[in-house]
Structure 1
Amino acid sequence: MSASTPSPHGEQLREALIDEAYHQGYGGIPMTLIVIGGLIIIHWINAGELLNPWWLAGALTLTIARLLSLLRFANEKQTMSVSQKESLFVVPVILMALLWGALAPLTFAAANTIERLTMVCVLSGMAGGAATVLAPLRWSARFYLTCCLVPISILIFDAPGGGPALSGLALGFLGIMFVSHGQARRMLVEAKTSLFDKQSLLTDAYRQQEVVNRLNAALESSQAALQDHNIRLEQVVEERTARIRLAFSVIENTAEAVMVITAEGKIIEVNPAFTNITGYTPDEIIGQPANILQASIDDQSAYAELWRELIETGKWSGELWSSRKDGSLFLERRSMDAVRDKRGRVTHYVAVASDVTDAHHKDEQLRHMANHDPLTGLPNRALLLEKLKQGIAQASQNSAKLGVFFLDLDHFKSINDSLGHHIGDILLREISVRLKGCIRLSDTLARLGGDEFVVIMNNVRDTEDCSRLARALITALEPPLELSETVIHIRTSIGIAVYPDDSDDANTLMKNADMALYAAKAAGRGTFAFFQQDMSTLAKQRLEFEYELREALTNRELTLHYQAKVHAIDRTVEGYEALIRWNHPKKGLISPEQFIPMAEDAGLVDLIDHWVVSEACRQIADWHARGFGWQRVAVNISSRQFQHENLVALFLKASASHGIPATLIEVEVTESFIMTQPDKAIATLQALQAAGITVAIDDFGTGHSSLAYLRTLPIDVVKIDRMFIMEAVNDPVSQAIIKAIVDLCTTLDLEVVAEGVETYALVDMLCEAGCYILQGHYFSSAVAPATLEAQWSQGSGEILPVAEKTGEPVDTASE
């Protein structure tokens, strides 16, 4: 399929010739069909019959096959290889050449002269057309020409009248067609080659143009990039210049001192803040050595270490004391960094420093606050434990002993609640001063919080050393303190644990001293006790008891018993006092003297007060609902509860929720509490009376200057203390005082009640003094509500209507 001369385009030319053959093939198919049709007609005219059916079928089939190959080429030429295209075109051409070659032998014998001549002309015409149409092909085209003319040239040779001449003409025509085909093919190849050369030149021109365009674009891009780079460089220069100005401005205006130091340690530049902090002006400091600020000769080692680290690592940061121009010291936080050139050699050092003296003092204050009690200035728990551990370590090294004293002020909570926290704070400060005066410089006094103090006694020789200090601490608190026109007597109880006898652990020593403290309290307060091993069992029992008390509030184990107040003349009941009891599931009834102090320590007394008020109101309502009439009940409240502003609201809410008149409630408050804060107490008592609640002074006779206050206090009832009553049996002076109290109360229209009446002699003495309302075991002990109800139901206990005192109608059911 290649040209006669080598072509530089090779396979491209071959593919172009094949494509050209397909293009010219569209004209060959119609010509072939016309020729076949003409032959059929001529043969029919001369022979009266169709051409050979087999030849005719083969010719039509191949013509159709050629048409299909052309159609396939049109649809698939982009995906077909050159060889596939060539085979698809050449094979039908060769087969068709064979059919044309077979036509003469099949029909020539039966044909007449006209048909033969016609056939010669037709085949010659087919050969002439093929020489042009098949010009893109070489050997297959020549084979086609040969098949068309050689067989008929041979058969016509024997024809009469010029057969050899015709045969020679046919063969000569064949030669001419070969030459014509060769020329056509050459011209076609040359045309295609020229086209490819021109296309190649054009492509090269386009490619070169693209290269030129790319070079131009690259040049333009480079010019633009160069321009952008120049702009960016200008911006960088401007920005760096601005940064330099800003940096200079920052250095000039920063609050931190800046020093630039040479590699040899000479100061060459400082900023205004340096002058403000140190007092040195630039003229005074430039050229001076960097250690001019060194505080004292003692800091030479620190400065030497600073420069050693700076030279080795290129940086240093830390705090150091320095000296100002006037000689005053200041603490500076300084950071220093080395400045290097391109070769990495140090050229300068830059130091940035700030004055942190004030912050240092504040930190010291914070550390002091973190380790000391803000009220007394004494060490707190954290510092105490640290000192205790240090003391234990020192005692261990010296084979010595150490004592831990746990102090607790007796009844401080009552004083704090009654007089107010501000008085309590003054008292704690005064107590800390007294206690501190008892210890040595080597000892430690600390406040844990509240009214708890701890003393660490170092270098203890024996327990007698601890005993002497404990007695000194107790004695120091014996003198009364006069605060806010009130004389306060305070005592302390002390628990002592000794290292290493009781433990070698700081926390355990503290715990053991605490347990010893409770033993001292149990012994009567105002004393001291050493830790004993069996105390841990007692402490555990106390914790269990406190836990059980908390559970008692939840499990409704608390109950109220009621003790009657009886008129001595006619034995009628004037009312009842509600007394709390703890109905322990295992220990039975427990008196308030056993658990109320613990409730105060555990912070449960408020909850108990609320429960007592609510339960008393509920019981009054229940008795009335069940037909036992309205009963007046007195309740006791703690001094802590009396301090609350919502005390009146507590009683009103409880009475309202249970639907009883507030006038049935009587509140008992101790005389000693009223005397500590009379002004505040009067306001609270007036509010209670305004709400219709009866107010009684309990334990009257135990305080001081009580009679002077009776006429000013808004009260309704005075209850003479049981101890005062019992002492008056054989004491005429006490009897005279009791009569004076009764006479004064009668004058002031106050009801008088005597407590603790145990014998008939007391009844007789009190009646002679004019006191007729009595309360005590002589008449009745405190009993459970069910016992009272049983007595009332059996008629053995009289129910007294209270219409005259409450203004409420008498309930006939109580009669």
Structure 2
Amino acid sequence: MTTIVIVDDRAINRSIFEKLALAVGASVKVQCFASPFDALAFMESTVPDLIITDYSMPEMDGAELTQKVRALDHCSDVPVVVITVFTDRSFRIRALEAGATDFLQSPVDHNEFVSRARNLLALREEQNAVKRHARFLEQELVNVELQRKEALRDSRERLAQVIDSVPAMIMTCTLDGLCAFTNAAWANFLNSTTAELIGQDAYGKFDKFTQESNRRLDRKVFITGRALPPYEIEQRNHAGDVFHFIVTKSPLLDAAGNTTHVVTTATDISDRKRAEAHLLHIAHHDALTGLPNRTMLGDRIDEEIFQCRNSGRGFALHFLDLDRFKSINDALGHRIGDRLLEVLAERLLRCVDGSDLVARLGGDEFAILQTDLKSSEEALRFAQHLVSVVEETFLISGRELQTSASVGITKYPEDGLNSEELLRCADMAMYQSKADGGNTFHLFSSKMDHHVKETIALENELRNAIEQDQLELFYQPQINLENNEIVGAEALLRWNRPDYGVVAPNVFLGTAEEVGLILPIGEWVIFAACKQAKKWMDMGLDTPRIAINISPTQFRKQDVPQLLKDALVSCSLPPEKLEIEITENIVLHGSEATVRDLRVIREMGIAVSIDDFGTGYSSLAYLSRYSVDCLKIDRCFTRDMMTDPNSTVIIKAIVGLGASLDLSIIAEGVETREQVDYLKDAGCELAQGYLFGKPVPAQEFSLLLEQQSLKAQGQYPQKVLVGAEIEL
């Protein structure tokens, strides 16, 4: 059983350190003391394996306690770790002179505590082995002194070979400070030979500080006749490389029990220190960008709060989240997305200086700690700069990518008194920026708390919407401009949210993407549209082709062709009655798998159209590659075509492109007869918009189909308008 003694006058610290100590190993037993005197009384009869003590205690400080522990013969070499909040070197020197082995800076990092404790316990085991070996060597030296000179010489040679095989640097020093013996490892470290070192100043090849500290410690061993407890040092070799050692100094006694030499043993622990530093770095940094992570940010915020309490200064915390980053990942893949995050991290680092900090919290979320804040205006200017930096074009693997950021700002001490509160407030402010369309920033206000609760409620209710049959498809007619007949209908999703009424998709689809509900919702839309189309056919109505929107996420994470096939088979619906609408992003950034999927879909007899055409970066090469059936002119061009020459040119170009590639063209957002006349003159044959009908429930859309069927049979019903201004 391994025993760890913890001494701290504060109960909360003892509790924390006890839990950390128990995490060191399964066989650890922990003894906690509030009083150093109680701890000393315990150690009168018990030898612990490790002592961890606070430096600043009312009855006795850590240095004095360490000194009294060293005065106990059976505890003279027990490792002692002193925890101190002081950074002044004098406190460490005092503790070191008292016999301290190592230090931990308060507040204590939990990972570092456990790692240090494990290392010291392991090193104590090694030092005990070295100590036993030293006793063996001492006895050997005593024995050889009693033998004849030749036998003594032979024994010393054998002993030197044994010592050279020990994985440590060993050197013996006389009372005059001269080197009496050294093994090859010690000589090699100094780029010398044993012959050159023997008889010379034992520490002459080291720097001045190392010389003075070792001579002082050697004198202590000569005076007391007792070994020093192991301690840790950092030392450079002849080439300037940094090494870490655990060092022991023990007396070498003659037959009369007098100290004749001091044996210094230095065990290289550099690999362990590097591993410890690596683990500590991993625990506090993001693997992708190398930036500090959420844990380190929280620690840094707490440090900044402590500094600000004393100085009266303030700081700001900026929570940055990329807009539509999921779309980039879905369309281009995670490799491109990860590279974009790396480049963004580099940009953000160039935005800060001094004591500011940039951290990655996970995904596409970053946080920037802006220190030494003088005013709210300064924080707002910095946030505007962050938004502008993100808005600049990214060149990733030969592709030009555009994105934007939503930034939330919170200030200390106005918005919170600890890191958790400040991060929560900054997160709420960021979501307010998201709600405003992104690419902007907001300073936290108490009103945002209510908005966040509404967002959480939206997410929870959305999860139940499918099961509780709250989703519904509305249908908007697509009209042949030559004869005013309905030739198609776009299925548009609505949510009958309890206590809110009918909710448009722009309110909830973003949340659905974020929480992973877009796939089941998209699947529901496909089956619901097919069922309704089949129902109209069974009613004997001239059922038009139904267009449904397919998101990039569905193409990336689902087998869309199989999903469509299952829906058609399940509903017994002919494939020519179905059309899928995809975005330009899918066309531009789709993978080879997406190309194959679209080809299979068209071979099934399902039409493919590109929605909002002209707003992105599509090219003829991509259109040829995907071999689509229809282009939909975005409503922004239709809306402005009577007043904006550029919109007019774009519409004519798209219509001409459609004629050249034998593609159908549908103009969205048609609201006036003047627009209809212009589109007809431009050669556009199909249109969709409020002039012909708003999106309506299936039951109301059935009336439009019934009217059209009667008209086709030569029966002319009385004019009935169903969300439309054009007579069928």
TM-score (norm 2): 0.68
Residues 502-561 of structure 1 deviation map (CA, whole Å, 9 limit, x = unaligned): 122121111111111222233343222211112111111212222222232443322222
Following TM superposition, by how much is the alpha carbon of 1:587 offset from its aligned partner in structure 2, in angstroms? 0.7
For residues 440-459 of structure 1, what are the structure 2 equivalents within 5 Å? 440-459=353-372
Once residues 200 and 233 of structure 2 are traced to their aligned partners in structure 1, the CA distance between those partners, rounded to angstroms, is 19
Following TM superposition, by how much is the alpha carbon of 1:696 offset from its aligned partner in structure 2, in angstroms? 0.8
Partner residue, 2:707: 796
Partner residue, 2:92: none
Equivalent pair of 2:587/2:623 in contact (CA under 8 Å)? no
Equivalent pair of 1:682/1:714 in contact (CA under 8 Å)? no
SS of 1:578 mapped into structure 2: strand
Residues 132-170 of structure 1 deviation map (CA, whole Å, 9 limit, x = unaligned): xxxxxxxxxxxxxxxxxxxxxxxxxxxxxxxxxxxxxxx
Once residues 381 and 194 of structure 2 are traced to their aligned partners in structure 1, the CA distance between those partners, rounded to angstroms, is 66
Show structure 1 runs of 5+ residues with no match: 1-243, 802-815
Match of 1:781 among 679, 694, 698: 694
Once residues 629 and 307 of structure 1 are traced to their aligned partners in structure 2, the CA distance between those partners, rounded to angstroms, is 107
Equivalent pair of 1:628/1:799 in contact (CA under 8 Å)? no
SS of 1:555 mapped into structure 2: coil
What is the identity, as a one-letter code, of the residue corresponding to 1:283? A
Partner residue, 1:257: 169
Partner residue, 1:595: 508
1:714 aligns with 2:611: no
Partner residue, 1:637: 550
Partner residue, 1:754: 667
Following TM superposition, by how much is the alpha carbon of 1:397 offset from its aligned partner in structure 2, in angstroms? 0.8
Match of 1:281 among 193, 200, 224: 193
- Identify if the C-alpha distance between structure 1 residues 611 and 337 changes in structure 2 by more than 3 Å, giving closer, same or farther: farther
Following TM superposition, by how much is the alpha carbon of 1:328 offset from its aligned partner in structure 2, in angstroms? 4.7
Partner residue, 1:693: 606
- Identify if the C-alpha distance between structure 1 residues 299 and 270 changes in structure 2 by more than 3 Å, giving closer, same or farther: closer
Once residues 240 and 655 of structure 2 are traced to their aligned partners in structure 1, the CA distance between those partners, rounded to angstroms, is 81
Once residues 262 and 554 of structure 1 are traced to their aligned partners in structure 2, the CA distance between those partners, rounded to angstroms, is 86
Equivalent pair of 2:579/2:609 in contact (CA under 8 Å)? yes
Shifted more, 394-403 versus 777-786: the winner is 777-786
Shifted more, 312-321 versus 663-672: the winner is 312-321
Higher alpha-carbon Rg: 1
Once residues 416 and 691 of structure 1 are traced to their aligned partners in structure 2, the CA distance between those partners, rounded to angstroms, is 28
Shifted more, 694-703 versus 770-779: the winner is 770-779
- Identify if the C-alpha distance between structure 1 residues 694 and 278 changes in structure 2 by more than 3 Å, giving closer, same or farther: farther
What is the identity, as a one-letter code, of the residue corresponding to 2:370? M
Once residues 654 and 354 of structure 1 are traced to their aligned partners in structure 2, the CA distance between those partners, rounded to angstroms, is 71
1:428 aligns with 2:341: yes
Once residues 332 and 293 of structure 1 are traced to their aligned partners in structure 2, the CA distance between those partners, rounded to angstroms, is 17
Equivalent pair of 2:480/2:487 in contact (CA under 8 Å)? yes
Match of 1:516 among 412, 429, 433: 429
Once residues 710 and 564 of structure 2 are traced to their aligned partners in structure 1, the CA distance between those partners, rounded to angstroms, is 24
Equivalent pair of 1:651/1:662 in contact (CA under 8 Å)? no
For residues 407-806 of structure 1, what are the structure 2 equivalents within 5 Å? 407-624=320-537, 632-644=545-557, 646-676=559-589, 682-704=595-617, 706=619, 709-731=622-644, 734-789=647-702, 795-798=706-709
Once residues 554 and 545 of structure 2 are traced to their aligned partners in structure 1, the CA distance between those partners, rounded to angstroms, is 21
Match of 1:382 among 295, 314, 317: 295
SS of 2:696 mapped into structure 1: coil
Equivalent pair of 1:373/1:379 in contact (CA under 8 Å)? yes
SS of 1:643 mapped into structure 2: helix
- Identify if the C-alpha distance between structure 1 residues 355 and 754 changes in structure 2 by more than 3 Å, giving closer, same or farther: same
For residues 339-350 of structure 1, what are the structure 2 equivalents within 5 Å? none
Equivalent pair of 1:486/1:676 in contact (CA under 8 Å)? no
Once residues 761 and 316 of structure 1 are traced to their aligned partners in structure 2, the CA distance between those partners, rounded to angstroms, is 95
Equivalent pair of 1:316/1:337 in contact (CA under 8 Å)? no
1:297 aligns with 2:209: yes
Residues 104-136 of structure 1 deviation map (CA, whole Å, 9 limit, x = unaligned): xxxxxxxxxxxxxxxxxxxxxxxxxxxxxxxxx
Following TM superposition, by how much is the alpha carbon of 1:291 offset from its aligned partner in structure 2, in angstroms? 4.4
More helix by share: 1
Match of 2:307 among 375, 394, 401: 394
Residues 722-741 of structure 1 deviation map (CA, whole Å, 9 limit, x = unaligned): 11111113446534542442
The size of the alignment, in residue pairs, is 560
SS of 1:332 mapped into structure 2: strand
SS of 1:353 mapped into structure 2: strand
What is the identity, as a one-letter code, of the residue corresponding to 1:285? L
SS of 1:612 mapped into structure 2: helix
SS of 1:503 mapped into structure 2: coil
Once residues 580 and 571 of structure 2 are traced to their aligned partners in structure 1, the CA distance between those partners, rounded to angstroms, is 17
Equivalent pair of 1:707/1:741 in contact (CA under 8 Å)? no
Identity %: 36
SS of 2:488 mapped into structure 1: strand
Following TM superposition, by how much is the alpha carbon of 1:499 offset from its aligned partner in structure 2, in angstroms? 1.0
- Identify if the C-alpha distance between structure 1 residues 731 and 458 changes in structure 2 by more than 3 Å, giving closer, same or farther: closer
SS of 1:781 mapped into structure 2: coil
What is the identity, as a one-letter code, of the residue corresponding to 2:231? G
Equivalent pair of 2:218/2:262 in contact (CA under 8 Å)? no
Equivalent pair of 1:293/1:324 in contact (CA under 8 Å)? no
Shifted more, 520-529 versus 589-598: the winner is 520-529
Once residues 215 and 471 of structure 2 are traced to their aligned partners in structure 1, the CA distance between those partners, rounded to angstroms, is 74
Residues 429-451 of structure 1 deviation map (CA, whole Å, 9 limit, x = unaligned): 33233333332312222221222
TM-score (norm 1): 0.61
More strand by share: 2
- Identify if the C-alpha distance between structure 1 residues 741 and 475 changes in structure 2 by more than 3 Å, giving closer, same or farther: closer
Once residues 626 and 352 of structure 1 are traced to their aligned partners in structure 2, the CA distance between those partners, rounded to angstroms, is 96
Once residues 495 and 394 of structure 1 are traced to their aligned partners in structure 2, the CA distance between those partners, rounded to angstroms, is 23
SS of 2:283 mapped into structure 1: helix
- Identify if the C-alpha distance between structure 1 residues 595 and 342 changes in structure 2 by more than 3 Å, giving closer, same or farther: farther
Following TM superposition, by how much is the alpha carbon of 1:407 offset from its aligned partner in structure 2, in angstroms? 1.6
Partner residue, 1:72: none
Once residues 157 and 542 of structure 2 are traced to their aligned partners in structure 1, the CA distance between those partners, rounded to angstroms, is 98
Equivalent pair of 1:561/1:579 in contact (CA under 8 Å)? yes
Equivalent pair of 1:277/1:355 in contact (CA under 8 Å)? no
Following TM superposition, by how much is the alpha carbon of 1:420 offset from its aligned partner in structure 2, in angstroms? 2.7
Equivalent pair of 1:574/1:800 in contact (CA under 8 Å)? no
- Identify if the C-alpha distance between structure 1 residues 380 and 309 changes in structure 2 by more than 3 Å, giving closer, same or farther: farther
Residues 58-99 of structure 1 deviation map (CA, whole Å, 9 limit, x = unaligned): xxxxxxxxxxxxxxxxxxxxxxxxxxxxxxxxxxxxxxxxxx
Partner residue, 1:334: 247
Equivalent pair of 2:614/2:650 in contact (CA under 8 Å)? no
